[in-house]
Amino acid sequence: MNTQTIQELSASLEAKEVSSEDLVKASLKMIEEKNSTLHAFLEVFDDALAQAKEIDRRRAQGEALHPLAGIPIALKDNILVQGKMASAGSHMLENYRASYDATVTRRLKESGLVIMGRTNMDEFAMGSSTENSHYGPTKNPWDDTRVPGGSSGGSAAAVASGMVPLALGSDTGGSVRQPASLCGVCGLKPTYGRVSRLGLMALASSLDQIGPFAHRVEDLAWLMQVIEGQDPLDATSSVLEETSVSSLISPDIKGLRLGVPKEYFVDGMDTDVTQKVKEAIAVLERAGAEVSEVSLPHTSYALAAYYLIMPAEASSNLGRYDGLRYGHLLQDGTLIGTYEQSRTEGFGDEVKRRIMLGTFALSAGYYDAYYKKATQVRAKIKQDFDEVFQRVDAIVCPTSPCVAWKLGEKMEDPLAMYLSDIYTLSANLATIPALSIPCGFAHDLPVGLQFMARPFDESTLYRLGMTYQSLTDWHTQTP
């Protein structure tokens, strides 16, 4: 299943050489073999085989199905599937069952993809290693003493280990791209507004986007066609022109202008990672891209701006977890006491840290100096990108400054953990699309190459990624 492209799998299903039931059984077998070690899935849905059989039945009756019908997919535990548990990796929502389908879930169901289960994540998507899950960490498929990255570490590990060919995660500051990089798979953060956020548990609403994982860029593009598009129930989703995946069949990057931001190659970066990224850029140059150095002068302020804006929005969004409407309830003498008890027991350490930071940044006397200042710096960061995209068509850089680190290594030092997102969070602040693809190994662990493009220009990311993957075979290597 994992040596084939999604298009090949689709053709095999269409030709009835293989059934959806076969694919789901193969997926279940891999989960059975590997999940006890990796802990990528929190739950495998008991109706996965039934979903597959239903698709096979419809196909047997001659119904015209979507090309992706019958293909297994995993969802991050913060994306709602009606009637199924959705815990966001938190004790707070341990017994919560989703009341409705997320828009992406509805679209997957309408297209006939088989939803296999829910994958592990940092609690409420707060983290870069999946160690903040209340249900225990996920391990990296390349070395199970190391983290898979985060916060969508379960989805990245599930695809990398061959449990499923496709998965969805969410990316607020790098939570799809960074684990994709650390696990050696492809991950896309779409332009803000391309994918509906309805039914994605909110972390920071001006930054959050749902994004796909797969082994190949072409597969990401196929999955994006299913999940993207305007949604009346998310006012920030955008009306899109139809993107044609078939136009990407023989991608060409001759004359494409690629910018390499000088601020992204600085001291403190793993030199072996830098080396791999530079080799990848040379491959693209040989394929006809025009590479030049560009500058994003406010880069060094992005992490500081992000770590005010994200916790501020999160502290507001997580106000809904009061123990009453859903989730973890601990009665205390008074209503305020009940709120405090439920939240103090229900939330983990990192979630409380960010709620505290965000509440502080929004509190009287500090709002202007912290939150408002950060939003002004965010505007500067976006201007940097606007200016660079007048001169180049895309940016190329590392996804993560390092490879997967040892479990526990950064747990006591929040700032060191936050620094692992330094190359990814600018794209969220600037609302632009960004893609991570595997580009080799350093210290025997996967290295990720990142592309960023103008808002709604995902097709340039696909062209770059597919061209690179047609010239290299890093994406075919498995743990």
Partner 1 sequence: MHITKDMISHVAALARLRFSPQEEEKYGEQLSSILDYIDMLQQVPTQPGEELVQGVSQINVWREDIPTGESVRQKIVEAFTDREGDLLKVQAVFEDRGKEEIL
Catalytic residue list:
76, 151, 175
Between the CA of residue 10 and those of 114, 247, 359, 415, what are the distances in Å? 13, 18, 48, 44
- Judge contact between 406 and 144, C-beta under 8 A: no
- Judge contact between 341 and 332, C-beta under 8 A: yes
User: Which residue, 68 or 80, is less far from partner 1 as judged by CB?
Assistant: 80
Three state DSSP letters for 414-426: HHHHHHCCCCCHH
User: Which residue, 25 or 380, is less far from partner 1 as judged by CB?
Assistant: 380
Between the CA of residue 242 and those of 31, 192, 249, 251, 451, what are the distances in Å? 35, 17, 16, 18, 22
Least Cβ distance, residue 422 to partner 1 (angstroms):
12
Residues that bind partner 1 (CB under 8 A): 82, 96-97, 99-100, 192-193, 206-207, 232-233, 235-236, 238, 298, 300-301, 303-305, 307-308, 315, 322-327, 329, 331, 333-336, 338-341, 343-344, 347, 352-353, 355-357, 359-360, 363, 369-370, 372-380, 382, 414-415, 429, 431
User: Which residue, 26 or 312, is less far from partner 1 as judged by CB?
Assistant: 312
Least Cβ distance, residue 404 to partner 1 (angstroms):
24
Least Cβ distance, residue 440 to partner 1 (angstroms):
32
Least Cβ distance, residue 317 to partner 1 (angstroms):
13
User: Which residue, 296 or 396, is less far from partner 1 as judged by CB?
Assistant: 296
Least Cβ distance, residue 299 to partner 1 (angstroms):
12
Least Cβ distance, residue 387 to partner 1 (angstroms):
15
Q: In one letter, which amino acid is 318?
A: L
User: Which residue, 3 or 334, is less far from partner 1 as judged by CB?
Assistant: 334
User: Which residue, 233 or 282, is less far from partner 1 as judged by CB?
Assistant: 233
Least Cβ distance, residue 30 to partner 1 (angstroms):
33
